[in-house]
Amino acid sequence: MAQTFDICIRGAGVVGRTLALLCARERLRVALVAPAQAEPATPDLRAYALNAASCQLLQALRAWPDAPHATPVLRMEVAADQDGAVQFDAAEQGGQPLAWIVDVPALQARLQEALRYQPQVEWVDAPVAAPLTVICEGRASSTRAQLGVEFDTTPYGQTAIATRLQCQLPHEQVARQWFAPDGSILAFLPLGGPQGNSVAVVWSVSHEQAAPWLVADEESFTQQLLQASRGALGALQMIAPRASWPLQQARARHWCGRMPGRADQAWVLAGDAAHNVHPLAGQGLNLGLADAALLAQVLQTRESWRPLSDLRLLRRYERRAKAALLPADLVMDGLQQLFTRRETALAQLRNWGMNRFARSGPLKHWVAQRAMGQWGDLPS
């Protein structure tokens, strides 16, 4: 007899695996689509800044990576292109880490291990029929395109260059970010645990700048990063190849609908398949995990008579998820636009504003709590 499923999740990245575990806890039968793929030619360089809400969610699923794959951030330092600067300190937020810098391969491995012991989840090579299909395929989702969902995209004209560095000085659990006069944004994210001296690098530069730096020799490249980071961690050595991707702001117009020709089946979007944001505030995966938690909660609390394919049910999720996304979307887009403008008067104004914000007290605390996921509206 053929296996029947309640939910088919297309996309087995971090968001898809997390959602599969959440749905399985509610005794829903889940098909997790993961087509066979060749081994990648280069190692996975991704590292994400996860906030307290994401940490709590993954710990509840027993999928939180072990140290040194989840480095607590005790301080964040942001430097503008002139004298503007802002610091956030864990001591000012009750002593809890501001974030954790998590290795994506280690996180995926822990999620994989948790799924091994979850009989409600079955890995499949291709999509299967189910009352609800959740699309977690990322920003280039083929299923979203096949369904004809409009994905409104605003290119930023920038490329993100990622790599990893060994530093002369220890990172001291500080996440650092520099805004340059040319509009580029450099972030050093601490790796390797509290005593580590390696960092994950995300350098957002114009497409024109990116092309030569992606092929430059290692010495030239690290010297440029040393200059851009103002020598904060001393001499730098590359310990990983470079990767790159174009930056954009994007959002799907519709996050749910009927499967073509099937009145009893529906689809819904989550994670990067639904929205993309600039990486400057490190909130991308946090927003995706919040989608997974919210969708699982909406399904869990549905009326007993309401099927998983009910569009009224799925629109509850869409409305709440879009409302939760809006503040982060506006802030990250606004910051990106503000710091890529080169007018002298505007540069002076933004540096003045950054210094005023650094001394704002309650406002700065409120922003920090929002970034940490401690504003109280994340689904349990």
- Give me the domain span that covers residue 61: 7-154+248-371
Identify which of 287, 318, 379 has the alpha carbon closest to the alpha carbon of residue 25: 379
Residue 213 maps to a domain: no
Question: Hey, what long-range contacts does 221-224 have (CB within 8 A, 24 or more apart)?
Answer: 222/165
Query: How many angstroms separate the CA atoms of 282 and 49, rounded?
Result: 6
The residue-averaged pLDDT of 173-199 equals: 91
CATH, residue 148: 3.50.50.60
Our count of domains for the chain comes to 1
Please indicate whether residue 329 or residue 271 has the higher confidence score (pLDDT): 271
**Does residue 349 fall inside a structural domain?**
yes
Find the mean pLDDT for residues 253-278.
92
Q: What is the pLDDT of residues 103-160, one digit of tens each?
A: 999 999 999 999 999 999 999 999 999 999 999 999 999 999 999 999 998 888 899 9
- Is residue 220, in this structure, part of any structural domain at all? no
d(CA 123, CA 171): 39
Contact call for residues 71 and 48 (beta carbons, < 8 A): no
Closest CA relative to residue 268, chosen from 284, 286, 252, 283:
252
For 160-175, the pLDDT digits (tens) are 999 999 999 999 999 9
**Span 36-84, pLDDT tens digits:** 654 555 667 788 999 989 999 999 999 999 988 999 999 888 887 666 6
Tell me, yes or no, whether 106 lies in a domain. yes
Domain assignment present for residue 359? The answer is yes
Is 228 among the domain residues? no
**Residue 150 maps to a domain:** yes
The answer to whether position 94 is within a domain reads: yes
Q: Kindly state the tokens that stand for 248.
A: 């954009």
**Which whole-number Å values give the CA distances from 249 to 18, 241, 337, 379, in the listed order?**
24, 26, 11, 25
pTM, two decimal places:
0.87
